[in-house]
Chain A
Amino acid sequence: AQKITQTQPGMFVQEKEAVTLDCTYDTSDQSYGLFWYKQPSSGEMIFLIYQGSYDEQNATEGRYSLNFQKARKSANLVISASQLGDSAMYFCAMREGQGTPLVFGKGTRLSVIA
């Protein structure tokens, strides 16, 4: 079974609007971390935001926030006030316990329209 599921292969959003990228995860561990990365067309992987399983508050980093719903095992990325430079692939990833590598979802391609 997939550990990370991103159900939206592609999305469009109007510039200056907010957009939510979905991510659900599967784990039996109590201790885990959830990450979002951005991959622009240039190809580099850029870390955006992190949420720990024990964090009670949703993580925020500038225009990025993570809508963490532990009981539903979802960790959606919210981008507020979209900009043209936000057009990219976005990957959700999870790390379970100590000593395990990141496992990625298949990604969502976001296109921001002027």
Chain B
Amino acid sequence: NAGVTQTPKFQVLKTGQSMTLQCAQDMNHEYMSWYRQDPGMGLRLIHYSVGAGITDQGEVPNGYNVSRSTTEDFPLRLLSAAPSQTSVYFCASSQQGLGYGYTFGSGTRLTVV
């Protein structure tokens, strides 16, 4: 099993550009989430989904958009990149149920110049 696959691993964007971070999981997990990790801030939730067609905002949703048309895929769109969005982004998925932790992708390191 591939688990959670994120692409790309590294990306440099210019301010104002848009892009999509891809996330796919092959475990038939219902729950998927996007986090950003900044030094000293831990992992902060951007958006999450509890199933295909259902998404909700997390702690830091501004400047990001998501959709969930299939169980497998949960792309994160940066609408107009800003230097404040320079971060490491993690996608994660989980089975339904309180006792299930998330399986994480390997992360995308994004730099906005």
Contact A91 B31 (CB under 8 A): no
Please indicate which of the listed interface residues B90, B92, B102, B103 has the most CB atoms of chain A within 10 Å of its own CB. Answer: B102
Residues B53-86 near A (CB distance < 8 A) = 58
Binary interface encoding of chain A residues 3-38 relative to chain B, with 1 for a CB under 8 A from any of its CBs, else 0:
000100100000000000000000000011101010
- Give how many A residues have a beta carbon under 8 Å from the other chain's beta carbons: 26
Residues A72-110 near B (CB distance < 8 A) = 91, 93, 95, 97-99, 101-107
Binary interface encoding of chain A residues 36-60 relative to chain B, with 1 for a CB under 8 A from any of its CBs, else 0:
0100000111010010100000000
**Chain B min CB distance to A102 (Å):** 6
Contact A106 B45 (CB under 8 A): no
For the residues of B in contact with A, the DSSP-based class is strand
Band of interface residues on B: 20 to 34
Q: List 26 A-B contacts (CB under 8 A).
A: A32-B98, A33-B98, A33-B99, A33-B101, A44-B106, A45-B104, A47-B102, A47-B103, A50-B101, A52-B98, A52-B99, A91-B42, A95-B98, A98-B97, A99-B50, A99-B96, A101-B48, A101-B58, A102-B94, A103-B45, A104-B43, A104-B44, A105-B42, A106-B40, A106-B41, A106-B42
